[in-house]
Chains A and B, each alone.
Chain A
Amino acid sequence: MSVLIVGFGNPLAGDDAVGWRAAELLASSLEAPGVRVMPCRQLTPELAAEVAEATLVIFVDAGVEIPPGKIACRRVKAVGGSTPFSHHFSPERLLALVEQLYGRRPEAVLFSVGARSFAGSHLSSEVEQALPVLLGEVRELVARITQVGKPDHQSARPAEPEDFFSVMH
């Protein structure tokens, strides 16, 4: 079982920093075998090699499609397609790149936190308040997933991809 947590966003662009901040906090507090945390500013092609080594990838990002401070979580699937830009990928495009280059299809989820503002170097009050909740949800997911993956778990079988989502709420 190998879990990769990728929190991404610009630490100097208001609420866009939430993914970065979450990853930094998780990196210093989450000690679980087989779990790796990467804060980064953007998703770039180099991440494909890291993602290809994971069984499950947890992306954390700011979102504009949900109300400020609200947290959403959804499963992410590889979606190909041409884009002229290599400096920034969506999680879907990154997963497609992983499949193309390495023939791997790790399971993936995206935690999004609704953003209020992308200006300044501080999180908005809504996102600041949501941050501990977000961290708790990510930690809980990791704990459940790593339990499922253990051989002495009640199912006594290796984790299947669908198990990841059966433990999510």
Chain B
Amino acid sequence: MVKMVKHLKAVGKPSASPGSLPLLTLEHGAIPWLLAVALATAGPHAAHLPWWLSLLVGGTLLWRAWLWQQRRPLPPRWALVLLVIGSIAAIAWQFGTLLGKDAGVALLVVFMALKPMEMSSRRDALVVVMLGYFLLLTHYLYSQSIPTGAWLLAAIALLTAALIRLHGGAQPVATILRHALLLLAQALPFMLILYLLFPRVAGPLWGLPQDAYSGLSGLSEEMSPGTISRLTLSGAIAFRSRFAGEPPEKSDLYWRGPVFDEYDGHTWRARALPAKAAKQLPVVAGIGAPLAYSSILEAHNRRWLLALDIATRLPPDSALAPTLEALAREPVRVRTQFSFASSIDYRANVIEAPAILQQALALPKEINPRTRALASEWASRPPEKIAAAALAMFRNEDFYYTLRPSLLGPNAMDEFLFDSRRGFCEHYASAFVFLMRAAGVPARVVAGYQGGELNPVDGYLVVRQSDAHAWAEIWLAGQGWVRFDPTAAVAPARIEQGIDAALPAGEPLPMIVRLDSDWLRQLRNRWEAANNTWNQWVLGYNPQRQREVLSRLGWRDPDWRGMSASLAILCGLALLLVTLWTLPRRLAADPVQRAWQKYCAALKRRGIPRAEWEGPLDFAHRVAREKPDLAALTNEAAGYYAELRYGRRASNGQLLRRLQQCVRRLPPRRRKHS
């Protein structure tokens, strides 16, 4: 077993003082681990980095691997400096800045790719690992999904293994990985305790860079032909809702987003209201029992909360706008849960501000003459009849509901209504509103989502971007704002069954929406339900949720002092456990010694203690003299012990067992009072 000294891993420098980092040269065998660290932490960023950067990273890492394999010297320092400066300049040119999320990540990636090129000491290697930690963190700026979480564990295991290789010298890869996983397993309890109890602070601590929330999708603040149909191409989830009772019919699920009341001939916008009208509170009366539900909104960086039409009870820090949509005080920038109550039957703003009604009649001058002519034919009728006539036209004449409408010119409504007749919901809604306004009926376009799909796994109604929709609203005296959905007249299946039923097979709908096979759909449901749980319990664990969880555990009103104290106590306990776990079984001394001591203790109880200095055979002789009845057995035990301890059969399991059995073979003690 004697391993010869791995002599003098010669340290040129005299021994380091405590805490200083020895300038050890990096072992050749440690370099692949560090390259793997660089690849694992920088590699996944390729998904959102400019292609040339990914190419640079891949190229340098390959180059470094080749240099390693050929045992060639590293490139000169000046070449690296040139490369770094060039990369920084290219990043500045690409992103327009060096600050901000994307540019910052790109810089980190460049450093990570180039650091291995000048890696010669253990300190350089540590810098690579620390950079790796940073890069891992930056992944979560882009995605915090379950796979990213799993990647976290795998990457940390790799980084830990690299550190072990760095400090422990050459070992088999499996040994290193096993050790790394052991360390991780022991670190997990600490992570859980800290995750649960570390006092959470609601961010952000300072202003975030402008691109912090880029890339969030959802409805936008204006609508032109194509806005909604483009959104429909995404199967991403917009929000999930859970109703306290039965969810209503699909055709009643109109989730209200922005309201557009200004039209310039191409684009619909929400007009800033005059101050007086903006101050007027909407008057909403629900008919029938209100439906209670809560929605988990994905971040979309807008204020609207997409409540079911029409919201009668709103979550804190939100209000109903004069145009009846629920608005939060701040844009929704993280996935958040909101609780509402809504009434499907309602009367809203039976008395409306004149400014709003006036705006609901405004049209750009002199465009769409044919549409205006048609509307003026209807103008003499009562408003309900006008709306009915428009819907009847959509229903009876050959209008097509399609994601691929024809392009429209300056007189868009004329072209759509009389020539192309192919359009998506935004075309129908805007044509309907144009007709109404031309006929003198106050009308406006409402955007939002329609429908949703119940996930039977967790009971949440899932609403996707592909459920985005636009409909119309007209104001009727005595009834207030009444919803009309011209799409329902053209393609009733859209409202009743959903977009995948309403569009013919050739339309470019996302795969995830159009799952024909049952088991695929089920798989998707399970995956999305798992994601939902993950979102709520892992990602949505904010200060508020922390308080909820702790009070559910029976801790009322936890404050940060109490949390810190219990955090310290629990971490201490975990530390103790880990220490006990790793503590060498020191007391598990020699089993031979233990068995012999046990035998001697048994004899002591029988009135013949062994003296400290007495050897086994001497002791056996004395026993033979003083207690002849125990002589034979003691002689045997002493013989085994002497053989095991000093003889040639030092590690003989059979002998040991026999020695252990001697204790059991002792005759029972005579009781004095039996």
A binds B: no
Q: Show the binding face of A for B, using Cβ within 8 Å.
A: none
